[in-house]
Every structure is written in structure tokens, then in C-alpha cells.
Amino acid sequence: MVARVIPVSPFDLVLFGATGDLALRKVLPALAHRFADGQMPKGARIIGAARSEMDSDTFRAMVGKALADTPNPAPPARRKAFLARLDYVTLDARGDAGWQVLRDQLRGDVIRAFYFSVAPGLFEPLAERLDRWALVTPDTRVVVEKPFGHDLDSAQALNTMLARHFTEAQIYRIDHYLGKETVQNLMAVRFANILFEPLWNARFIDHVQITVAESGGVGGRGAYYDGAGAMRDMVQNHLMQLLCLTAMEPPHRFDADAMRDEKLKVIRALDPVAPDRVVRGQYGAGESGPSLLDELGNPGSDTESYIALKVGISNWRWKGTPFYLRTGKRLAARVSEIAVTFRDPPHSIFGENARWRENVLVIRLQPDEGMDLRVMIKEPGPGGMRLKDVALDMSFAEALGDDTPIPDAYERLIMDVIRGNQTLFMRGDEVEAAWAWTDPVIAAWAQAGKRPLAYAPGTAGPDAAAALLKRDGRRWREVK
């Protein structure tokens, strides 16, 4: 799939939290793949940093094992060569230990990237120490993982803190959804084809469904998840980004500020969501595992593992076309998609009895990334003009005729950091606008005293979510 690999400039990437889950499962494997594809020049180095005492060889062995455990690992020889690019520094984000060693390791004439793959409570101590130890050069970038705050106040405080140490052009707030090939394809489909854009508005689109369904539960993330829930963990960032890319006006260029300006306008045009347009749920126990409350270890928790919302956008393009968003854990399948349902033709020349199905454009993010357009055709055979809807279904992997796995979102995003391209990262004002919309939705349901509804694992979520669409004469697409 990756036909052209353009090497990036030499860099020192310092990965704080290098021994943690995200670093070992996502960030380092992504870097290994980019290395294996020849994208990293000779002068590219990765320095892991965490408190655990170990030397670079032990760290390399740890990473080597993690790489071998990932799906589609790079060939062994390439992995070995990649490991040679790694070093490790024992360092405490909250203390002074290790910082001089790190300073001595960094080169002055290459790009520097500091990746904060640590708990959010460490962002400030890290930023302060980077500043204090004079490690921030003009060619420095910092990558900040999610969650970016848990409400507007905390996000603003985080932005203010980061602005004390870095310029906005140096800050890369990751939402890995933006790095997914299919999400970028959404922009290509919309803005590189004349076909869809004239129809892309409330006049021709009946509604949009954005689904991010997970089959797994909260697992070991209970401590973080309790109090966050699906609204903060998924809707405020990932689903919001998908909504923005679906709804935004064409930017004048595919560049960072043009894109982010347009996304920001969408967020600012979102209507407040009243509690009767929100359904929240908690999964019960089942064959797949314990209930949410048991996993959280908090029988009285009000945290939702499922949420569905009906969202309106008050602007000329979208007024009157609802966007239905839903996301949840322990659902029937792991599927992420954006489904755009078009309106019926204004008049049926085939008579009253012709059975219409709407045209639906589905952009599948996972599994089997691709696109599917449901169109009406004539059912073959004699016996009059009967209509049938069929799929113009395209799997990107098949269509591109290549078995190379689609690169993981982190691969693209980390290389963009090195290139200095912020297009697929969130700007500070965008994150704050997303929280400014999210906070009142949460406050309204809290005030209404609405507790989450129970749902059985392996289903599509609470029945009330189906009712949310049914009362508008619509149905959710099946989660399968």
C-alpha cells in the first residue's frame, strides 16, 4: 500500500514513558515499521526514558520482545537493525535524576521530538524540566497523548501550561483517529471527487450515523475510565473529529490551519444536546466477562460504557440533518464507520409499490477499511420493474491490489511530527471548543439525574438507543 516512502530528516525522539503500555504496544512498533520501510534516515535515534533502572541493552531486549508480539511485525533483521537505534535513560519526570544524562545524549543539529507517553499528571513536570534543562530548541516538537483534560477548565489549564514552555507550532496533540488511513480517505473522497460534494448538505442528506463500537470491555483501565466514561473518552475527541471531517466546509488547502479552522467552525455550530437526546448505558455481566461496575470495582458508579446522541449542527449546510453518534464497549462487534444516508428521490417513476432503500455511503474505518455505496438497481428477471439495493463495496486492501498491511495511525502521525506537519493534530482552540460543547451535555444529564441504563454484552447497546432513532422514523445500522 505504501508506494512511496519519503525519508524524514534526522531526529532525536525522546519517548517519555518508554516502558509503558502505549509505548511498547503502539509507538515503538510504529517507529519500527517506519524504519523497516526505509523512512528513517541514518541520523534518526530514539531515546526511551522512564524511572525503571535499566541499561540500553535491557531496554532493547524489552522492545524486541514487544515488537515480536505485535501483529505483522517487521522482518527479524529489520527489527534488529531498528533496535540498534534505541537508547535508554533512567529518568524521573518529577525529580532531577537522569536529566543531565539525557541532555548529554541529545544532538544540537537535528530535530527533537519529546513524546509524552505518560500519565497526564506528568505533562507539567516534564514540560517544566525540558525548559529548565534548556532542551527546547527551535526545532523541537512535543507530542501530548490523550486525554487532553477532562473538562474545559482542565484543558484550558493544560494549554496555558504548555504555552509557557512551547509555541503552538511545537505542540502536537494526538488523536490517533486522525492518523487512520480511512479517516484521511474521507477527506479524499469528499474533496478530490466532484461526485459527492454537490450532494453533501441537508437538502440531499437525510442523516449521518457515526459508530465506534468495541467488543472488549474496560479491562485494566478501570481506574482511568471510572469518572471519564464514553463521552469524555471517545465522543469529545474521536467521534468529534469524525463528525468534523464529515461536516466541515472544504478548506482552501490541505494544511494545518486551513483544516483546523474549518473543523473549529463545525464544533462551534454544534447545538447543545438536551438529556432526552442522549442515551447512556452500562454493560452487564456475560460470557465475555464481568459487568462494567465489577470491572470498575465501584458498584455505585454513574460512568457510562455506552453513549448515543442526536446532534444538530446549526449552519446553512446542515440545519435539519441530524448526526447520530454512538460508541460503546462490549458490543456485538468491533466496528467503526461513518454512514451517510441520502434522501429519497423526489418522485418515484416506478409507482407507489416500488420498494425504496435509501442510498447510503458507508466509510468503514474498521474492520476491513473501505467504502460501500448502497445503490438501487433493477432486480434481474422478468416480472416487471422490481428494485433492489446492492452494494458497491470496496475494500481498500483489495482495490489497491496489495497485501501490505495498512499502516497503523501512529506510523503516519509520528512521521508527521518529525516533518513538522500539524494537519492531523488538534489545535488548542479546537480541543477547548470540543470541551465547551461536551461539558454542558454532561452537566445537563447530571442535573436531570439520569442514570445509565443496563445493556446486555454482545448486543447493540440499550434498547433506548434504538428508540432515539425510532421516534425520528429511522434505524441504527446493525452492529455486526
Q: Can you give the binding site for ligand NAP, defined by CB under 6 A?
A: 16-23, 50-52, 91-94, 117-120, 122, 145-147
- Of these residues, 33, 165, 207, 238, which one is catalytic? 238
- Residue 98 CB, shortest distance to ligand NAP, in Å, is 8
Give the residue with the Cβ less far from ligand NAP, 117 or 327.
Answer: 117
**In whole angstroms, what is the distance from residue 16 CA to residue 20 CA?**
9
Would you say 147 or 275 has its CB closer to ligand NAP? 147
C-alpha–C-alpha distance, residues 340 and 209, integer Å: 7
What are the angstrom distances between the C-alpha of 358 and each of 138, 204, 386, 480? 53, 11, 15, 20
CB of 234 to ligand NAP, least distance (A): 11
Question: Nearest approach, Cβ of 50 to ligand NAP (angstroms)?
Answer: 3
Q: How far is the CB of 145 from ligand NAP (least distance, A)?
A: 4
**Cβ neighbours, 10 Å, residue 228:** 17
**Secondary structure element (H or E) that encloses residue 373, with its range:** strand 370-378
CA distance 244 to 247: 5
d(CA 197, CA 279): 32
Nearer to ligand NAP, 122 or 186 (CB): 122
List the one residue out of 344, 279, 339 whose CA is nearest residue 310: 279
- 237: DSSP letter: I
Q: Which helix (H) or strand (E) holds 256?
A: helix 256-269
CB 117 within 8 A of CB 22: yes
**How far apart (Å, rounded) are the C-alpha atoms in residues 310 and 291?**
26
Pick the closer one to ligand NAP by CB: 50 or 247: 50
What is the torsion angle, in degrees rounded to the nearest 10, for the CA atoms of residue 447, residue 449, residue 455 and residue 457? Answer: 60
How far apart CA 145 and CA 176 sit, in angstroms, is 9
Which residue has the closest beta carbon to ligand NAP?
A: 20
- Main-chain phi, psi angles of 343, to 5 degrees: -75, 165
CB of 21 or CB of 153, closer to ligand NAP: 21
Separation between Cα atoms, residue 473 and residue 348, nearest integer Å = 20
CB 166 within 8 A of CB 142: yes
Tell me if residue 238 is catalytic.
Answer: yes
User: If you write DSSP's letter for every residue of 272-325 in order, what string do you get?
Assistant: P--GGGEEEEEE--BTTB--HHHHHT-TT----SEEEEEE-B-STTTTT--EEE
Among residues 148 and 324, whose Cβ is nearest to ligand NAP? 148
Q: Which is nearer to ligand NAP, 23 or 245 (CB)?
A: 23
Contacts of 157 (CB under 8 A, 6+ apart): 149
Measured from the CB of residue 57, what is the shortest distance to ligand NAP in angstroms? 17
Tell me whether strands 360-366 and 370-378 are parallel, antiparallel or unpaired: antiparallel
| Nearer to ligand NAP (CB atom), residue 53 or residue 403 | 53
Q: What is the closest distance, in whole angstroms, from the C-beta atom of residue 109 to ligand NAP in the complex?
A: 27
- Strands 335-342, 360-366: pairing is antiparallel
Nearest distance from C-beta of residue 289 to ligand NAP, angstroms: 18
- Shortest gap between Cβ of 151 and ligand NAP (angstroms)? 16
Which residues does the annotation mark as catalytic? 238
